Amino acid sequence: MRNTVRRAAAAGLVAVFLATTAADGASACSRILSNANGQANVVARTMDLYRSDDAKMVVYPRGLVRASTTGDGKSFNWTSKFGSVAVTSFGAATSDGMNEKGLVANLLYLGDTRYEQRDGRPGLSNLSWAQYVLDNFASVKEAVEGLKDVQIVSVEHDGKRWPLHLAISDAEGDSAVIEFVDGRMVVHQGKEFTVMTNEPPLETQLKNVRNYKLFGGTKPMPGDIDPESRFVRAASYLKTLPAARSVPEAIAGAQSIARTVAVPPGAKDTSGSVAEDAWPTLWFTLADSTNKTYFFHSASSPYLYWVDLTKIDFGSKASERAIDAYDWNLAGDITQRLTKAD
């Protein structure tokens, strides 16, 4: 089935969202792209889940041979063109990451996902989706075009199938949110698509945000932890975020918004929402696409640490390296502390 690409110029709702946000989120999560701060294009992302995801931060070099297994005989292999730093979950999926060109991929839970009926294209496991993008593309435009040649297929892991949608952004501040709605791939592409949470799908989220004061409505900003409340809150704070005076300030601004949508352990959803994904935040990342620095913060640690991709040898002979992302002893620049992966 052919892709449906929804762009800003083609939809009135998108135009409204662009006008109101010009000042300027593999589970329940929030993604925020700060691409209008005047200093750096920064993505903040929270990982919210009902159990530990056994996260590792991994350095993947160029030249890795990958295999995507979908169980239907239509899987395929590829060789990575670009090196990347990624956070893996359950030892099976890249949930988040940035490649050496500054392309960022954020894989989030979307309970309303309905994937396409299987056709003759090579099958790409939805758990490999984000890493495939990081391995093969340097920009959002390239990724959107390249994904037309494969078909995303749901596979089971940890006893369940994971309905997922993907956000991607690049060093130029371009963005795309890719979802599967009613069996169709829907691509929202443009710099204005800065926030993503979970269900309902993005088009419905964009309609809902117009009910709130900063977007032309009358409702006050919601404070609950359900996906719609987090979407409105992130979009609202992103809209009022002042211009940054430095790169660190741009990163800190994105981080401050991520903290407003992070869910503390034990928090209860009192919104009345039927969304299944109001889960505690396990970790969040910050990806500075402009300067190629990738940050990680675990909810079980008071410390922020980061990897400078410009200091990594991504040559094809480089070893794959990894760390336990939850190691609470990690702080500051840990680029040189990465060890060989298991």
Residue 205: closest CA among 31, 23, 9: 31
Any idea which residue has 């409702």 for tokens? 219
Q: Could you confirm whether 29 is annotated as catalytic?
A: yes
CB 189 within 8 A of CB 7: yes
Q: Which two tokens stand for residue 134?
A: 């990081």
Q: Which two tokens stand for residue 313?
A: 């040898």
3-state secondary structure string, the chain? CCCEEEEHHHCHHHHHHHHHHCCCCCCEEEEEEECCCCCCCEEEEEEECCCCCCCEEEEECCCCEEEECCCCCCCEEEECCCCEEEEEECCCEEEEEEECCCCEEEEEECCCCCCCCCCCCCEEECCCHHHHHHHHCCCHHHHHHHHHHCEEECCEECCEECCEEEEEECCCCCEEEEEEECCEEEEEECCCCCEECCCCCHHHHHHHHCCEHHHCCCECCCCCCCHHHHHHHHHHHHHHCCCCCCHHHHHHHHHHHHHHHCCCCCCCCCCCCCCCCCCCEEEEEEEECCCCEEEEEECCCCCEEEEEHHHCCCCCCCCCEEEECCCCCCCEECHHHCEECC
- What phi and psi, each to the nearest 5 degrees, are found at residue 122? -55, 140
- What phi and psi, each to the nearest 5 degrees, are found at residue 162? -110, 105
Catalytic residue among 14, 28, 29, 177: 29
**Distance, CA of 123 to CA of 74 (rounded, Å):** 6
Q: Which two tokens stand for residue 48?
A: 């919210």
Q: Which residues are catalytic?
A: 29
